[in-house]
Amino acid sequence: MPDIDSVLQENRSFEPSEAFRAAARVGDRAEYDRMYRESIDDPDAFWGRAARELPWIKPFDEVLDWSEAPVAKWFGGGQLNASAVCLDQHLTTDRRDKVAILWEGEPGDVRSFTYAEAHAEVCRLANVLKARGVGKGDRVAIYMPMIPELAFFVLACARIGAIHSVIFGGFSANSIRDRVLDGGCSAVITADGGWRRGKVLPLKAVVDKALEGVGGVHTVFVVKRTGNEIAWDDARDVDALELAKTASVECAPEPMESEDTLFLLYTSGSTGKPKGIRHTTGGYMVGTYLTTKYVFDLREDDVYWCTADVGWITGHSYIVYGPLANGATVVMYEGAPNEPHPGRFWELIEKHRVTILYTAPTAIRAFMRWGDEHVTKFDRSSLRLLGSVGEPINPEAWMWYRNVVGEERCPIVDTWWQTETGGIMLTPLPGVVATKPGSATLPFFGVDAAVIDEEGNELGANLGGLLAIKRPWPAMLRGIWGDDERYRETYWSKFDGEYYFPGDGARRDEDGFFWIMGRVDDVLNVSGHRLSTMEIESALVSHAAVVEAAVVPRPDELTGEAICAFVSIGPGAVASDELAEQLREHVATEIGKLARPAEIRFADALPKTRSGKIMRRLLRDIASGREIAGDTTTLEDFAVLDRLRSDAE
């Protein structure tokens, strides 16, 4: 297979301000280089020192055992508890009365919890779980809206040594059933409902359907959030908050071995059985703690908001475990970014004086489409740092984020990582790196990354190839639940165990900066040229009329595959043959004639999951004239798919 042709040209660069650099945890490139070099050359010293910043119940006696590669064992002999790391350690400090979670519901109700109050809530819920027979090693499925009790139940499971399996609140009953059965869950935690775009999502009803005919689940813990009518099984269902009223506010944290499983998180593809990614306690906590500390340059007075859902790995690592381990004030929001108006996020930033915002490129492009006026009408002067997560961000969205949201003063940390990696892998440190729009820049400490060809040879500057990680890191997955062979085959077999292969294409520029080119299976093969869909999409979005684009292949007798672009245009632009031709020529001018789309299809919206990811596999089916295949239950708006199909007919 030939290398991936890299055609994106981006030469803009932005240094952090001297004021930001002077106050940053790491504000000097030489200091970053020294720390990074130690993390690669002497990882035992580097990670041992980082790990000792956490409160261990029993000290570890070995940093890494890689003798049974690709299964790593980090911090062997050590014991700790993730809930205690996030809560208990702060109770003897000034953080005891600091706000840990600042929550707002979609209807506007607000609740806040100090670290002491959060500790009490978690202990109560942990005791509720124990009273119903949930204990160490038991698997517990959690299917809840974005309310504080979601974070509290996650930490309550960790506190008693139960393994939590959080299922995103948009998944179907079938998806829940698959995950409950695969994980062997004996209990489920849910809510009567949750608010989304002004409506109540009936979560308990979905769980009831999922559990029809499923044995082995002895208890369903229900949190009353919305008051909607729900069915009730007296033998199985319990009112969690009612029981918590009389539960003790003390619950000793269970000592957990460093390699004890902390949680399962399922990733689902278009086909095949969902994979239960298994993360363990010690390495994951060290990795999320350290990345949160340095990537977001956390300060004691920060108000930090990651807009993800706890149902995804971003929510696990950068709403719950990483920020709370650092003693941060974390904002949680229940609802949609455009309910009741398109300025909802910016209203919350003004109201709560948010200083750090971590959100997704798909959300950023939606904000662009809705118009600058919804952003600029609210005060964003509290913001000092912006972050991007979830997929590669195209340069024009990056520039809009910097100029409009950040008012040209906030550094942007564009992060690359996965469910499987547990924590951030490629990222700028905001006080160090001169960022480039669209680049994830440099590896985080301990991440030995490379761009290689199919034979495992490292490629030179600006040559597109396969992203690979050369050595283990603490927060890495330890396996796939119940299927160790699938773990080896999926992530380590491509290069005979020499590299972890995440499935993404990348290039590294002359400054050593990484540019993620998207999933390798999203690469187009046009007349023998292997082109990154992300780069073509970036070129389309750089046109003034375009706010979002998704590029997919369709079969072509002459070129093998032809480029089909689905494009959403902004206010004032009119879909027409003339605009389609302008866009084709714009791409040809920006990155070359070989990347000119054969077809432009205008769409008022693109099919996305509720996490904001474009479902390109559905667009591939539409472009190729095939029946839609695979699971569509996570679609945010089914009407979008219907409109695209009718337009194609």
Verify that 232 and 173 share a domain, yes or no.
Answer: yes
Helix orientation angle between 203-210 and 173-183, rounded to the nearest 10 degrees: 60
Return d(Cα 39, Cα 472) in angstroms, integer.
Answer: 12
Q: At 538, list the tokens.
A: 């970036």
Verify that 393 and 485 share a domain, yes or no.
Answer: yes
Q: Which of 225, 254, 283 is the last residue of a domain?
A: 254
8 Å CB contact between 138 and 153: no
Q: Which of 237, 254, 271 is the last residue of a domain?
A: 254
Q: Which residues are within 8 A (CB) of 449 and not within 5 positions of it... i.e. 6 or more apart?
A: 425, 426, 443, 467, 468, 469, 470, 514
Degrees to nearest 5, angle at CA 144 with 631 and 128: 135
CATH number at residue 566: 3.30.300.30
CATH number at residue 248: 3.40.50.980
Residues 412, 418, 424, 430, Cα dihedral to 10°: -10
- Find the largest Cα–Cα distance for the chain: 72
8 Å CB contact between 554 and 534: no
8 Å CB contact between 472 and 450: no
**How many Cβ atoms are within 10 Å of 301's Cβ, its own excluded?**
9
pLDDT at 175: 84
Q: Is this prediction's pTM over 0.75?
A: yes
8 Å CB contact between 274 and 268: yes
Residue 343 lies in a domain: yes
CATH number at residue 476: 3.40.50.12780
Task: Give 10-residue mean pLDDT values along the chain (649 residues).
Answer: 57 93 95 98 98 98 96 97 98 98 97 98 98 98 98 98 94 88 97 94 96 95 97 97 98 98 81 82 98 98 97 96 98 95 97 97 89 97 96 89 97 96 98 95 98 93 93 97 92 92 92 88 64 80 90 77 88 91 88 82 82 77 74 61 66
**Three-state DSSP class for 224?**
coil
Counting Cα atoms < 13 Å in the Cβ hemisphere of 59 gives: 6
Residue 536 lies in a domain: no
* Torsion sign (Cα): 207, 210, 212, 213: negative
Verify that 483 and 352 share a domain, yes or no.
Answer: yes
Q: At 329, list the tokens.
A: 């004030």
Helices (H), 168-245: 173-183, 203-210, 240-244
Among candidate residues 391, 359, 393, the one with its CA nearest the CA of residue 375: 359
Verify that 129 and 146 share a domain, yes or no.
Answer: yes
Residues 534, 539, 544, 546, Cα dihedral to 10°: -40
pLDDT at 2: 46
Residue 8 lies in a domain: no
Residue 591 lies in a domain: yes
Verify that 304 and 359 share a domain, yes or no.
Answer: yes
Burial class (CB in 10 A: 0-12, 13-18, 19+), 649: exposed
Residue 526 lies in a domain: no
pLDDT at 10: 76
Residue 69 lies in a domain: yes
Q: For the CA atoms of the chain, what is the radius of gyration? A: 24
Q: At 540, list the tokens.
A: 């389309």
pLDDT at 255: 98
List beta partners, residue 139: 163
Residue 217 lies in a domain: yes
Return d(Cα 316, Cα 298) in angstroms, integer.
Answer: 18
8 Å CB contact between 606 and 365: no
396 Cα distance to chain centroid:
21
Verify that 134 and 214 share a domain, yes or no.
Answer: yes
Return d(Cα 183, Cα 139) in angstroms, integer.
Answer: 7
Q: For 354-412, what is each residue's pLDDT tens digit?
A: 999 999 988 998 899 899 999 999 999 999 999 999 888 888 899 999 999 999 999 99
Domain with 130 in it = 85-95+119-254
Q: Which of 230, 254, 278 is the last residue of a domain?
A: 254
Number of structural domains (the chain) is 3
Verify that 233 and 269 share a domain, yes or no.
Answer: no
pLDDT at 559: 63
Verify that 581 and 436 share a domain, yes or no.
Answer: no
391 vs 414, 440, 513, 636, CA distance in Å? 9, 10, 17, 18
pLDDT at 274: 77
Verify that 60 and 126 share a domain, yes or no.
Answer: no
**Three-state DSSP class for 317?**
helix
Verify that 309 and 454 share a domain, yes or no.
Answer: yes
If you count them, how many residues does the chain have? Answer: 649
8 Å CB contact between 475 and 283: yes
Burial class (CB in 10 A: 0-12, 13-18, 19+), 583: buried
pLDDT at 565: 92
Verify that 23 and 163 share a domain, yes or no.
Answer: no
**How many Cβ atoms are within 10 Å of 292's Cβ, its own excluded?**
25
Verify that 316 and 226 share a domain, yes or no.
Answer: no
Residue 104 lies in a domain: no
